[in-house]
Amino acid sequence: MIGIVIVSHSRQISDGLKRMADAMGQESIPVVSAGGMDEPDDPLGTDALRILQAIQEVLHADGVLVFADIGAAKLNAETAIDLLEDAQKRKVRLCDAPLVEGVLAAAVQSAAGGSIEDVMREAQTAYTPPMATGRETERTPSVTPSADALLREYEIATPLGLHARPAALFVSAMNRHQSAIDIRNVTKNSGYVNAKSINKVMTLEVQQRDRIGVSASGPDAAQVHDAIQALIDQNFGEAPATGGPPSAPPPKPATDTADGDGSILNGTAIRIGYAVAPARFLRIELPDVDARQVDDVDAEVVRFDEALATARAEIEALIQRGKTMLDDYEVRIFEAHLLHLDDPEIAEAVRKRIRKDKSNAEHAWRDTVAAMVASYRGLADPVIQARGDDLADVGLRVLRILTGADAMPTRFETPVILCTKTLRPSDIPTLDFSNVQGLCTEKGSKTSHAGILASGLNVPVVFGLGARIEEIEEGRDILLDGASGTVDIDPDAKAIKAAQEKRTAWRDRMDRAERIKFRPATTRDGQRRRVAANMQGLQELGNIVASGAEEVGLFRTEFLYMNRTDAPGEDEQYGIYRAAVAGLDGRPLVIRTMDIGGDKPVPYLQQPNEANPNLGWRGLRFCLANTKVFHTQLRAILRASSHGPVRVMFPMVSTVDEVTAARREVEAAEAQLTGAGLDFDPTIQIGIMVEVPAAAETADALAAHVDFFSIGTNDLTQYVMAADRGNPKVADLIDPFHPAVLRVIQRTIHAAKRAKIWVGMCGAMAGDPMAAPILLGLGLDEFSMNAAQVPEFKLSFSHLSADACARFAEEALALDTAAQVRERTAAFLDAQTE
Amino acid sequence: MLTSAQVAEWIEKTAAVMAENREYLTQLDAAIGDADHGNNMDRGYKAALERLSAEDDVGAILKSVAMALISKVGGAAGPLYGTMFLQAANAFAGKTTLSEEDVELLLERSVDGIKMRGRAEQGEKTILDSLIPAYESFQAARRNGTDLAGCLAAATDAAEAGMAATIPLIAKKGRASYLGERSIGHQDPGATSAYLIVKTLRDVVADAR
């Protein structure tokens, strides 16, 4: 494995590039950013001592490649290498390659394996000018496989074909074999190229549904094909579409790709609802700008340079905001924007035009950028096409600064369903939603910042439809179902009629839910329960407050620890918790200490590889063994408690001993704060998650030591049913409506009642209106769910009678199967709402 | 003879000279480079000043200057002058006085350091266009039996002439080389700062007399 050091005059560039390299190398290789200088007034430049330190940080690797952006940076990188001891020097090379392409290619090749020479060669051949791709004649000469080679063909099903991550996985797998391996794109009738080279594989432009031919000759040729088959079987680790509304029965084993069959495209349900309307593709276009003669070209160039500087400052602020919002995706997008903005080719071409044609800056900029965008979009490669969108976005930003006119939100004159590749958080304010009936995207996830914001929109939203989104015809009526997460691109009259009826009922229900959402959740017979929201980042505060949630029942803090290289410090965490307290404006906040481990590993905390991470060293188990990290978090939570009602909750508790140990750590953290003269609430409520069967069985004993319980149904169900949440083959068993799970929930609630502590629920079941009768009947005090579910939950709750639910719960728990429980519940709900 | 105290004084005075000439160097650089040479040299020498210790021997002083420059200058001058001082420092570890012969070695090592890092030769519109004549004139004067002050005076005159001679040259190295023929007619900022460095050493020795 080869380490990488990135040297750039701009720290933003080297930091951004490091993140991209981390993603390409799957965080498995050491990459250090050594850009810029520690001079607040003059941050552009390079510092050989900083570079030296960066090299030393990765010297533990088998070798180190240093990449530098321009001349002076190269000189300083050489100087840094010269300062190493001779033995160290031999491991380090300055790699003369284009910075961005070189680093990314090196990251992939290093993750795949190979000597320092191999990695260097990949980096140096990484760059193909955009105009050259797709041209057959520019291809590297093909190789001819030997006669004894083992040949086989495969079809590639991943949405992006063999690009980015899938290509990296493929090349990594090939590099683990001794055989000489060559690959060709059968569909495009290309020649063979070396399958161990990421750049060569990329030149094949393997797209979804292309067939590849692989030839392997050598001692492990058969294993090569086994490895490829394994990758194909796992669809290169690309997650199949998941989702569906929380109230849907457990999803069927997801063996399909994201595409679906016939005219139906499957995606991820982001926001429930139904829409039928003409499709409209959203595309960033640069508006025409009038040409104008300028007299003082020098002043015009200065005006242009100032606009670039303003744009840079704006983008840097957006990156900063993305970082505080822990939105990695947002940060990466804007870092890519900075790279375009800093592209000297574009800026120089614009300056030239201003001088030569005496053109106004906005006209010169618009024309130059639009031509570049068009050439990107004209290429076959979807990854390069996407670059065109980024560039267009940068183009718009600079135009807005130059012309001083804020772009009006994009308005649609007639009802439309918007279709787009990705939706970014910054897109939402640029759209006028008055005629938007629905929204769907090719890519995007529920947990992204955009996913969270979109879940608060008043229109149905489906993300992640995959490449088939391109089959949607502009202007044609399509049918979007935000409950099942599907889009019908060619609906028949019957389907349209059914969807319109559903839409009317849904709109009606939504209107009623909106009207009652700020009222307390009260049953028909006057029983009140608390409705709370789950949260994992500050960006959700707006949605939570607007949803009518009365408190936050679960603030997941593990996300503060992910996607970074070291643990967040006390002050950073305190700042976040305090901001949450302030944003909630008096609403109580339950902060759960980090649940690291299981399916949420954090590289810098050095957890061992575990055969069974879900049954392993996670949650409170991990915290009690890492008291330094634990104390830091506890101090931050306690300090936030001096500003408003904060409660602390421990995840993954199994025994009384763990709880008493955790309480001791809280006392230790309190003593440290007292020693430092810092404020906290000494009466802070301390609670635990009940998600391990052992905790539920001994809930009586545990209740004596805590102020509240919160039942985590997601893990509880997998542990009670002994069925892995991530394994589609046993997905049918993961059903919280199974009487076994319901009885464990009942025991937990009863133990809490006897001990006179409150008990809530923060798993997916809590927000499911279908589960409400049973949970209300069993006596649950607090229901914590996604903010978007709150209004409808309150509405359905208001139809229930607590007395009837109590009787119904007894009855339901005596049933034999989950299916029976669901069936009876549906009948009960129908009777209640009549 | 040049003492370690005088070497320290040379660095201090150069820092003052760079501060005075900040605008001038930046203007020269604005014509054919990226308009930061003055700021960069000023910042680098200020950092060198902070690390300067009167008790250090010549090798240690020059090394601390080298480290300050490579870390704080930011542009190409950092690694170039940094390597220059580092090469010189290696020759004088533990020494507290330098003979005339040693000062000649200091200049020779300086030229070697810049050549090594910049892969440049004389006539390419760089630091070397004043530094190489300075070294050669010093060497010639010393062979004729001239004293240290005289040798340095000759070196300074040669450096000044070399600096002026960069005006008609086409830049072959660094960012100025992007301009090609348009670099003709401008004095090279690197050759200018190198001249200032040599001249300041002359002044320190002349003042001591």
Please report whether residue A251 resides in a domain. no
Q: Is A45's CB within 8 Å of B175's CB?
A: no
Q: From the centroid of its chain, how far is CA A641?
A: 30
A79 shares contact with chain B (CB less than 8 Å): yes
Q: Strand order of the sheet with strand A2-7?
A: A31-33, A2-7, A63-68, A92-95
Residue of A78, A79, A94 to mutate, testing the B interface (most B Cβ within 10 Å of its Cβ) = A79
A347 shares contact with chain B (CB less than 8 Å): no
Please say whether the structural domain B2-208 has been given the CATH code 3.10.330.10. no
Please report whether residue A250 resides in a domain. no
Q: How many CB atoms lie within 10 A of CB A728?
A: 14
Please report whether residue A804 resides in a domain. yes
Report the pLDDT value the prediction gives residue A834, as an integer from 0 to 100. 64
CA-nearest of A619, A539, A609, A616 to A579 is A539
In this complex, which of A42, A48, A72 lies closest to B71 when CB atoms are compared?
A48
Residue A190 sits in the same domain as residue A273: no
For A630-649, write each residue's pLDDT tens digit: 999 999 999 999 999 999 99
Q: Is A48's CB within 8 Å of B117's CB?
A: no
Residue A392 sits in the same domain as residue A485: no
Q: Whose structure tokens read 């607040």?
A: A40
For A650-676, write each residue's pLDDT tens digit: 999 999 999 999 999 999 999 999 999
In this complex, which of B43, B70, B174 lies closest to A39 when CB atoms are compared?
B43
Q: Is A45's CB within 8 Å of B174's CB?
A: no
Residue type for A677, please? G
The domain boundary, picked from A455, A488, A513, lies at A513
Intra-chain end-to-end CA distance of chain A, in Å: 67
CA distance A714 to chain B (A): 53
* CA A240 – CA A255 distance, rounded (Å): 7
A69 shares contact with chain B (CB less than 8 Å): no
CA-nearest of A699, A676, A679 to A689 is A699
Close Cβ partners of A804 (under 8 Å, ≥ 6 residues apart): A773, A828, A832
CA distance A49 to chain B (A): 6
- Which ranges constitute the DSSP H helices of B92-145? 100-118, 128-143
CA-nearest of A94, A89, A58 to A76 is A94
Residue A601 sits in the same domain as residue A620: yes
Q: Is B78's CB within 8 Å of A72's CB?
A: yes
CATH number at residue A496: 3.50.30.10
Q: Is A79's CB within 8 Å of B118's CB?
A: no
Residue A537 sits in the same domain as residue A446: no
Largest CA distance in chain A: 88
Report the pLDDT value the prediction gives residue A409, as an integer from 0 to 100. 61
Chain mean pLDDT for chain A? 85
Residue A60 sits in the same domain as residue A148: no
In this complex, which of A39, A50, A79 lies closest to B79 when CB atoms are compared?
A79
* CA B71 – CA B84 distance, rounded (Å): 14
Residue A811 sits in the same domain as residue A710: yes
For B6-56, write each residue's pLDDT tens digit: 999 999 999 999 999 999 999 999 989 888 899 999 999 999 999 998 788
Q: From the centroid of its chain, how far is CA A663?
A: 34
Please report whether residue A10 resides in a domain. yes
For A146-203, write each residue's pLDDT tens digit: 778 888 999 888 776 776 667 777 887 888 888 889 999 888 888 888 888 776 777 7
CA-nearest of A779, A760, A771 to A531 is A760
In chain B, DSSP finds a helix count (H) and a strand count (E) of: 9, 2
In this complex, which of A39, A44, A49 lies closest to B70 when CB atoms are compared?
A49
Six-digit token string for B108:
């020779």
Three-state SS for A277?
Answer: strand
Residue A627 sits in the same domain as residue A757: yes
Q: The domain containing residue A477 runs over which residues?
A: 264-282+411-513
The reply to whether the predicted model has a pTM over 0.80 is no
CA distance A593 to chain B (A): 42
How many domains would you assign to chain A? 5
Domain locations in chain B? 2-208
* CA A268 – CA A446 distance, rounded (Å): 7
DSSP A139-162: SPPPB---TT-EEEEEE--STT-S
Residue A363 sits in the same domain as residue A271: no
Confidence grade of residue A326 (pLDDT, cut at 50, 70, 90): low
Residue A677 sits in the same domain as residue A698: yes
Residue A326 sits in the same domain as residue A419: no
Residue A211 sits in the same domain as residue A76: no
Residue A174 sits in the same domain as residue A91: no
Please report whether residue A288 resides in a domain. no
Confidence grade of residue A410 (pLDDT, cut at 50, 70, 90): confident
| Chain B residue set in contact with A, beta carbons under 8 Å | 36, 39-40, 43, 67, 70-76, 78-80, 82-83, 117-118, 174-175
CA distances from A147 to A144, A150, A151, A212, A218 (A): 9, 9, 10, 19, 12
CATH number at residue A385: 1.10.274.10
Catalytic residues of A: 449, 762
For A74-107, write each residue's pLDDT tens digit: 999 999 999 998 888 989 999 988 898 899 889 8
Phi first, then psi, for residue A394 (nearest 5°) are -60, -40
In this complex, which of B43, B71, B117 lies closest to A42 when CB atoms are compared?
B43
ipTM: 0.85
A45 shares contact with chain B (CB less than 8 Å): yes
Phi first, then psi, for residue A442 (nearest 5°) are -75, -45
Radius of gyration of chain B measured on its C-alpha atoms: 16
**How many CB pairs lie under 8 A apart between chains A and B?**
61
- A597 has a pLDDT exceeding 80: no
CA distance B18 to chain A (A): 17
